[in-house]
Amino acid sequence: MAATVPLAPGNEIFAAFPEHTCAHCHAGIMPGERWVRVKVYEAMSAGATRYRRYHADLFGEEVLSCWEKHQMETEKAERAA
């Protein structure tokens, strides 16, 4: 989400604020960044759904994206169960 912050008459700052947060690294997902959305069903709340979002792109020297790390953790947990 983008917002303008009024300073003085005629002067404004344009700032971008994240609309969503990555469920893996908890950093904001900024406009223009690629992300993956996962629908989560919660049986405890009468079938209510919510979404988790993950970064789809790599950061700096990272080998895996937040989404890929989440997938690996999920597969590892399923194998252990």
- Answer whether residue 10 is part of any domain: no
* 3-state per-residue secondary structure call for 65-80: CHHHHHHHHHHHHHHH
User: Other C-beta atoms within 10 Å of 21: how many?
Assistant: 13
Q: Is the dihedral of CA 56, 57, 59, 64 positive or negative?
A: positive
- Answer whether residue 33 is part of any domain: yes
Range of the domain at 40: 21-80
pLDDT at 81: 81
pLDDT at 1: 45
> Which ranges in 1-81 belong to alpha helices (H)?
66-80
Q: How many domains does the chain have?
A: 1
pLDDT at 74: 92
pLDDT means over runs of 10, the chain (81 residues): 53 65 92 90 73 92 94 94 81
